[in-house]
Amino acid sequence: MDRMAAFGPLFCDITWGAGGSTADLTLEIASRMQNMVCMETMMHLTCTNMPVEKLNNALKEVRGDAPEGHDTFTPIEGGFACALDLIKHIRKEYGDYFGIGIAGYPEAHPDSILDDEEKMKENYWRDIHYLKQKVKYRNQGTVFPGLALSFPGVFCHKECWDLQVDAGGDFIVSQLFYETGVFLQFVEDCRSVGITVPILPGIMPIMTYGGFKRMTSFCKTKVPQKITDALESIKDDDEAVKKYGIKLGTEMCRQLLDSGVPGLHMYTLNLERSAVSILEDMGLVNRDNLPRHFPWRPPTNVQRSGEAVRPIFWSNRPKSYIKRTADWDAFPSGRWGDSQSPAYGTLNDYQFMRRHTSSEKRAQKAREAWGDVLSSVDDVKQVFVNYCKGEINILPWNEMDSMQKESAELVPKLQELNKKGYLTITSQPRVNGAPSTDSTFGWGGPGGYVYQKAYIEFFVSPEGFSKLQPQLNSAPSISYMAVNSKGELHTTLDDGNVNAVTWGVFPGKEILQPTVVDPRSFMVWKDEAFDLWITEWSALYDGGSQERKVLQEIRDEWYLVSVVDNDFVHGDIFKVFGLGD
């Protein structure tokens, strides 16, 4: 899911009870997509076999809270007779809250596909008129910017496609097809009866020969002869089939976009590679320049829509941050100080708290990375140096399996720092007005300029800090905070201080300042940062071992230090460490 989300799809689908899973699992996946993976989620709903209570619970879960003024629910006797009932119910109970997608059948609904061509044509037009009845173009301003990946894409079950909308439908997604002409004719036919909503083509890249055959047979999809012929000759060569699928998909998508479709809906079947390759071949996405709305990825949960600023401390642990702020009513937006600072929740969910020690397999991997023997602080230093070098790719303070891209240019200096005993966990270089489309530092879309103040956060021994502090104090552009696990704080900053360390200037907008450094959240973060020495690292070793002793001592005695160089135009943050250019 994370790999798909990185490419910035408009939304991702999840089928209801996919692959025989329970409703609970479906909802948990949907919730995780929205809140942790941070993707807009389209949950499929079936009309048949869907008791009203179950549906309503699901909608409530996805919405996150009870709809205002609709706390009491009036069930429809005996469930929903047809999709129209389902949609009417959703609109009645939830108003415009949910965007609703409708299934469209370019080749007519599978049930309507008959041998009698005359009768079939009749069915096709009946379906189109029925579609019109269920559609109203409400969001005149909605733009589909490029692509939509489908996940997990058990797409051709009849129930999944029975998601039909009453006069409140937002858009149509088509059944898969392999003749672009058929889809374009379908769009034309829809327009001819007055359907004006966006219609997204459903593209299923051919990934395996067997899968392709099963799908097209089940969905009664027309397959052009030249595709059948092409596949016949390579059907035993899996790689060749995959490659052909990408080539064919790219051709189809190019043709569709040239014909003016507003976006592409990719059926991925949980595998993103072919879909991404197609989008790359068309130049729609670039894995070296992924789109970023903010430097961090905001959850799509509507309660967090006001979220516009985060402390930098959790930048390598976004899921922990989201978890700890899940109960916030309001998010500081713009001026951090505007909202009274809500309390950070504690991390009692071990899934988040113990990434590297929650299973034997993970612990194994972590010990491989960090070593079986830590006889002294020097061995710990070496782990950090190895991480900087890219020789290992996990650290307790990073939820992701690699250093953030934008720290890459700091790597040589960070290695030096770690060798000197400054164990770095978060950093960013200064940026003085890079284009907002910059492949490393860009965010917020085209036309703007982005800025950063240089930042380094690290653990250091008490002796190391004593030596460093005079340097920090005498550097005019430096501000810092240093604290140990006992809470002894050294800083020149006021408690209420907020320093914007990432900001962007965009046409026709206020200045956006999505990342800040502030003492209040630092004092919350420090507990988490110190605890990770124990919960994620020391716990890997036996009680009473030398390893535990070494790690525990660092946790108990060392300082966590946060350093900002405020001079984003000329500054060199490494100077105070004796590593200036």
| Token reading at 11 | 């939304």
Q: What are phi and psi of 338, to 5 degrees?
A: -65, -45
- Per the CB < 8 A criterion, the answer to whether 388 and 415 are in contact is yes
Helical H runs in 501-544?
519-532
Which has the closest alpha carbon to 363: 579, 538, 493?
Answer: 538
DSSP state of 335: S
> Is the CB of 178 or the CB of 568 nearer to a second copy?
568
> Is the CB of 124 or the CB of 443 nearer to a second copy?
443
> Is the CB of 95 or the CB of 447 nearer to a second copy?
447
The crossing angle, in degrees rounded to 10, of helices 23-32 and 52-63 is 20
Smallest gap from residue 189 Cβ to a second copy (A): 34
> Is the CB of 78 or the CB of 507 nearer to a second copy?
507
- Give, for 251, the enclosing helix (H) or strand (E): helix 238-258
Smallest gap from residue 501 Cβ to a second copy (A): 10
Smallest gap from residue 304 Cβ to a second copy (A): 16
Smallest gap from residue 477 Cβ to a second copy (A): 6
Helical H runs in 301-359?
318-324, 350-353
75-100 per-residue burial string, b: 16 or more CB within 10 A, e: under 16: eeeebbeebbbbbbbbbebbeeebbb
Q: How many residues are given for the chain?
A: 581
> Is the CB of 31 or the CB of 339 nearer to a second copy?
339
**Residue ranges that bind a second copy, judged by CB under 8 A:** 308, 333-338, 432-433, 447, 449, 451, 476-477, 479, 493, 497-500, 503, 505-511, 513, 516, 564, 566-569
Name the region of 433 (left: φ>0; alpha: ψ -120 to 50; beta: rest): left
| Token reading at 471 | 């340097």
> Is the CB of 341 or the CB of 382 nearer to a second copy?
341
> Is the CB of 73 or the CB of 449 nearer to a second copy?
449
Instruction: Using alpha carbons, list the distances in angstroms from residue 118 to 113, 317, 497.
Output: 11, 60, 75
- Per the CB < 8 A criterion, the answer to whether 33 and 12 are in contact is yes
> Is the CB of 215 or the CB of 434 nearer to a second copy?
434
Smallest gap from residue 404 Cβ to a second copy (A): 22
> Is the CB of 337 or the CB of 470 nearer to a second copy?
337
Q: Within its chain, how far is the Cα of 184 from the centroid?
A: 32
Please compute Rg for the chain using Cα positions.
27
Smallest gap from residue 491 Cβ to a second copy (A): 11
Greatest extent of the chain over all pairs of C-alpha atoms, in Å = 89
Smallest gap from residue 311 Cβ to a second copy (A): 13
Instruction: In whole angstroms, give the CA distance from residue 499 to residue 302.
Output: 27
107-122 per-residue burial string, b: 16 or more CB within 10 A, e: under 16: bbbeebbeeeeeeeee
Smallest gap from residue 430 Cβ to a second copy (A): 12
Amino acid at 428: Q
Smallest gap from residue 579 Cβ to a second copy (A): 22
DSSP state of 541: S
| Token reading at 387 | 């991480």
> Is the CB of 249 or the CB of 571 nearer to a second copy?
571
Smallest gap from residue 335 Cβ to a second copy (A): 3
> Is the CB of 310 or the CB of 354 nearer to a second copy?
310
Report the SS3 class of residue 459.
strand
| Token reading at 422 | 């400054």
Smallest gap from residue 507 Cβ to a second copy (A): 4
Q: Within its chain, how far is the Cα of 379 from the centroid?
A: 35
DSSP state of 402: S
The verdict on whether omega for the bond into residue 476 sits within 30 degrees of 0, i.e. cis, is no
Which has the closest alpha carbon to 103: 23, 18, 15, 180?
Answer: 15
> Is the CB of 33 or the CB of 472 nearer to a second copy?
472
Smallest gap from residue 481 Cβ to a second copy (A): 11
